[in-house]
Chains A and B, each alone.
Chain A
Amino acid sequence: MKEQIRFYVDGLFAEIPPSAESEAMKFELLDSLVNKYDDYINMGISEQVAYSKVVNSVGDFSEISRELQRNISVVDPLASPDAFYARQERRHKRHAILLSVGIGLYVISLAAVIAIPSELGVVMMFVIAAIATVMVILANTLYGKKNSIKQGEQFVEDFQTWRQENDEKVKTRKLFESAFWIIITVIYLIVSFLTGAWHITWIIFLLGASLSELIKGILLLNNPKKSDS
């Protein structure tokens, strides 16, 4: 039923181009309606009746809808979804570059200590590692999730993450994944104890990983996911 409420709210906002403001209001309204719904259920009201009460409690949304559509070009410079996502993409690129260079430097630091077999090598390793750490921390502070977007836009991210996480399908998938890995571990332990070949049986985990990716791939081919962007 709560899914229904979400669809209902999506419907209300269908005509409104997404912006920080509209997504925030969507989130707020949905939160409010779900809380109301829970209250009705706790009072002992049936799901159907609770749902229709909740829908009726919204009232005439057309004025807000019109305002949000009208105000977009004036109020919100990032209102166009394209501008918004382009900006997100640039930030993500910078974050990725900074982070990967940083991690690459960790590896290079090890190469340093191997290539220069003396105290100098060890010092070089620490110095390079220090630089790497600075880069990683910078990457996270400047472009990390909590910082790269202003509060309002955080809403678009949070709301979409919330939507995806609450998707029944995602929840089921996660359940299956957990079960899958438990089974793989059990198989590993059984085979290892039976054959005593612990030095080889770890490969089972690699096989498990490939199998899991294969299954995901097959599922994706069969049910292409609806794109949220």
Chain B
Amino acid sequence: MSITADLLRGNTDIILLARLSQSDSYGYEINKEISEITDGAFEIKEATLYSAFRRLEKNGLIESYWGNQQTGARRRYYKITPSGSAQLQTMVAEWEDATRLIGKLIKGETDHERTN
């Protein structure tokens, strides 16, 4: 369980970027969805979330705007930028590489032991 929590926390950026690449959203909604999708296993702390938002925005990967009465009251919405999308692709590719390699390493060791 602790590896899961650490992994999730360490990958907040890619998780947020991936969510924003689907559609614009705001802090509360994103947090709630993450909770629901993971069946409550992962709940981001507000501080972590807003830290991540500020960081991503400072690096130009997302930008924020304020909603109006129509889109949902005075809320701060976040949207992914083109460079954010590009970065997301890179991160996803790296993620898939990493998980594949780690998977290999975990399985590889057991195979190796068996053949020896």
Binding site for B on A (CB under 8 A): 24-25, 27-29, 31-33, 35-36, 39, 57-61, 63-64, 67, 151, 154-155, 158
Contacts and interface: CB of A to CB of B under 8 A. Distances in A.
10 contacts: A28-B76, A32-B31, A32-B46, A57-B45, A59-B47, A59-B48, A64-B51, A67-B54, A154-B66, A155-B74
Interface of B: 26-28, 31-32, 43, 45-48, 50-51, 54, 66, 74-76
A154 B68 CA distance: 12
B58 to A, nearest CB: 9
A58 B32 CA distance: 14
Contacts of B75: 28, 31
Nearest to B47: A59
Contact of A158 (B31, B48, B74): B74
Contacts of A32: 27-28, 31, 46
Contact of A29 (B46, B48, B66, B74): B46
The interface residues of chain A, by DSSP majority, are classed as helix
Nearest to A29: B46
A64 B51 CA distance: 6
Contact of A28 (B32, B45, B50): B50
Contact of A59 (B27, B45, B74, B76): B45
A54 to B, nearest CB: 9
Nearest to A61: B47
A198 to B, nearest CB: 44
